[in-house]
Amino acid sequence: MSTPRDLLGDLVRTIGRRHEPPAEDYEHVLLAARSAWQKKVRERKRQRAFLAMAACLAIVLISGATLMRWTMTKPALLASTLLVHGDVRVQSPGESVWRRMRTAEEMASGVRVRSGLDSGAALALSDGTSLRLGAHSQITFDSARVVKLHAGALYVDTGVAHAAGSLRIDTPLGAVHDVGTTFEVLAAADAVRVRIREGRVRLDRVGAVSDIQAGHDEEVEIDREGHVMRRAFSRNGKEWKWAESLAVAPDIEGRPLLQLLVWVARETGRQLKFDGPEAEAQARSVTLHGTAANLAPLEALDVLLSTTDLEYVLPSDQLIVIRQRQDN
């Protein structure tokens, strides 16, 4: 029986021992391999850096485009709601539904506001001007300087330090320009009426060449035919009560009583008087605590004076007098 040949062994014996390459060849091959490996690593790092930069750039571009789109499409806020009485509705541009107005609601250009029976709202423009919408009234915010009164009554208080001429009330029969500072505009189908409590206003009639100036304690009415009627009007009559009911009291916590007294006098159209230096000194030194929110001016004064030694009396329509509390 023959033994199988070891072909692989015969081949190795025939070829003989492998010739060992010189040491410098090892070094050359090693250096070449190392260089190729380092080059590959560098290329991968460059690739990763490039991809990272591209990703960052894409994020920046997307964020910038989003911010630009948000900035360009977000409408500027013109007014906000301070107080709502009864059924007051608001409608945004492009909407067909009138929804109930909320306190602290913000309004932009094109927003409409309307009030129902025995309803009203107090609003503040972005510059601090106070607007009060009467019952059965409707307005549109055209811009930061223009409010359109479609119908009803709008009370405007631009503030004692407000720049004159910065607000215009457009009505169907003409425009009312604020010359400062407190007035009421009533727009009807056949007439527009303006009552000035303080300051002056200018009326530009539709189709008229000249305008009309009116001052404090005056009422001016213009009908559709252009007839102008003027009459004296008291700054503290009962006709202002609806606007007083929508007055928003200042923040009184930690403030002197005198600040509230000045606000009440201004909101009621009265002159503030003190019955002696002691009463005035106490009004300046007393610090208030609590809140007068949702109270009409005289109601707020009743509540807050009840915690002091002072009281008020109304000797006439023009005065509010602060005095030491009298024992009955």
**Sole residue written with tokens 């030491």:** 324
- Angle of helix 257-268 relative to helix 277-285, nearest 10 degrees, comes to 110
How sure is the predictor about 179, in pLDDT bands with cuts at 50, 70 and 90? confident
The reported pLDDT for the residue numbered 166 is: 77
Give the end-to-end CA distance of the chain in Å, rounded to a whole number. 147
Query: What's the token pair of residue 255?
Result: 């403030």
Residue 101 pLDDT greater than 60, yes or no: yes
Residue 56 pLDDT greater than 70, yes or no: no
Look at 315 and 53; give whichever has higher pLDDT.
315
Helices (H), 187-317: 241-244, 257-268, 277-285, 297-305
Mean pLDDT value across residues 258-281: 94
191 Cβ neighbours under 8 A, 6+ residues apart = 173, 221, 222, 223, 224
Residue 76 pLDDT greater than 70, yes or no: yes
114, 86 contact by CB (below 8 A): no
Query: What's the token pair of residue 60?
Result: 């920046």
Residue 242 pLDDT greater than 90, yes or no: yes
Task: Indicate the average pLDDT of the chain.
Answer: 84
The reported pLDDT for the residue numbered 38 is: 58
In degrees, to the nearest 5, what angle opens at C-alpha 51 toward C-alphas 50 and 54? 85
How sure is the predictor about 210, in pLDDT bands with cuts at 50, 70 and 90? confident
Look at 161 and 153; give whichever has higher pLDDT.
153
The reported pLDDT for the residue numbered 170 is: 96
Residue 55 pLDDT greater than 90, yes or no: no
